[in-house]
Amino acid sequence: MNTFRIAQEGVRALSANKLRTFFMMAGTIVGIAALTVIMAVGEGTEKKVMKRITSFGTHAIVITAGGGKGFSPPQAGITTLRLEDAEAIRSQIQGIAVVAPFAVKRGLPIKAGSAQIQTMVMAVGAEWHEASDWYPQQGDPITAEDNATMSRVCVLGATTAKDLFGDEDPIGQYIQIGDVRFNVKGVLQSRGVSPMGDDFDSRIIIPLTTGLRRLYNQDYITNIRVKVQDTRQLVLISEEIRRLLHERHHITPPEEDDFAIFSAAEVAKTARGISGTLTILLSALAGLSLVVGGIVLMNILLISVGERTKEIGLRRAVGARRRDIFMQFLMESLAVTLIGMVLGSALGWAASVILARVTQFPVVISLEPFALALAFALVVGVFFGVQPARRAARLHPVEALK
């Protein structure tokens, strides 16, 4: 029997008992559908996180006052970073393009007319815009002159401008931060959501000198943002900054740091690690479903071999070789898993699209899950189809006909 005839016989045998065939492929359908959804959501999530990290800044290093390993704002009252630290980094570390110290206060009361909100206020130097690659969409940025004269001016984030002034043009208007009145000179470009899920655009920036002396009444800063010239030097420069601050703050390991250093590379590594671990776990569950489906497939095929003993004996009697019988049952197994793979992939893609529309989950539909599903289907079909095929091929024709 040639391969085409063997395949025909296998398909005919499967179509003769459609319900049994469906049960054989059910495990494959569920496993492949789950795998397709997992990969679509995993790839979409990673793409979304990487987009947010781009907003963080691919050339950026951020030093935060206070220790700890998590990427979080410093707690109130931590005074471990000074303007002198920023100046030392600027003058002593090679490969740095810009150093921008700034101080953050969260939850300050803001008023503009009848509108009242609470948001984050950042006191920044003129170099902050370049260090963050973040400039006004309307109006003017914070300048060196603003800092030199302790001007009471501010630039609003897009969300803050909307909350305070609605559709009205905020440029030239006045707002009150705490007890200090500020003139709005600009509105920042919209940045969307941060890597930590916060609204980047819910903020106000003011001159650093104004913030420290007139609003916060403090002589310390909360953060230093560093922009490097070459992204390949991010890790090296981060370590040099750490050593410099150890020396300046008189920290000797294993004594804990009184600052924390973050870069886009570290944030991306953490995000990929979390996403990768979750994807591996869920993929393992999908793989388990495929294995269970394969075991069901093998058992039903073994039952089928017992029920089709006379058919096998008759084929052997009219000239079919053991190899032909083996290939027929193996092809039946492969046909079940391949059809299950197609149906499972279609179900998985449909579920991914519905999930994206209903829950706003980030989903990326690609050919990668289909290729992986094909590989899984071939492996399951061959691995779990060999034993039934061998049992059918080993039947003696005379004994089978009895």
69-95, pLDDT tens digit by residue? 545 555 556 888 999 999 999 999 999
Burial of residue 211, with CB atoms counted within 10 A of its CB: 0-12 exposed, 13-18 middle, 19 or more buried? buried
Task: Find the mean pLDDT for residues 115-122.
Answer: 94
pLDDT-derived band at 188, boundaries 50, 70, 90: very high
Q: Mean pLDDT, the chain, as a whole number?
A: 81
Instruction: Give the Cα separation of 378 and 380 in Å (integer).
Output: 6
pLDDT recorded at residue 17: 66
Supply the pLDDT for residue 80: 86
More confident residue, 143 or 33: 143
Higher-scoring residue by pLDDT: 119, 370: 119
Judge whether residue 50 has pLDDT over 80.
Answer: no
Which of 72, 121, 126, 87 lies closest to 224 in space, CA to CA?
Answer: 87
Q: Which residues, other chains included, contact 133 with Cβ-Cβ below 8 Å and sequence gap of 6+?
A: 57, 227
Residue of 269 and 357 predicted with greater confidence: 357
Q: How far is CA 388 from the centre of its chain?
A: 43
β-strands 115-124, 153-156: how paired? unpaired
List the structure tokens of 350: 């449909």
Higher per-residue confidence, 246 vs 278: 246
Whether 298 has a pLDDT exceeding 70, the answer reads: yes
Q: If you average pLDDT over residues 269-277, what whole number do you get?
A: 64
Confidence of residue 356 (pLDDT cuts 50, 70, 90): confident
- Give the contacts of 170 (CB within 8 A, at least 6 positions apart): 156, 161, 164, 184, 187
Lowest-pLDDT choice from 12-21, 175-184, 214-223? 12-21
Q: Are 332 and 305 in contact (CB under 8 A)?
A: no
What is the pLDDT, as a whole number, of residue 350?
A: 86
Question: Is this model's pTM higher than 0.85 or not?
Answer: no
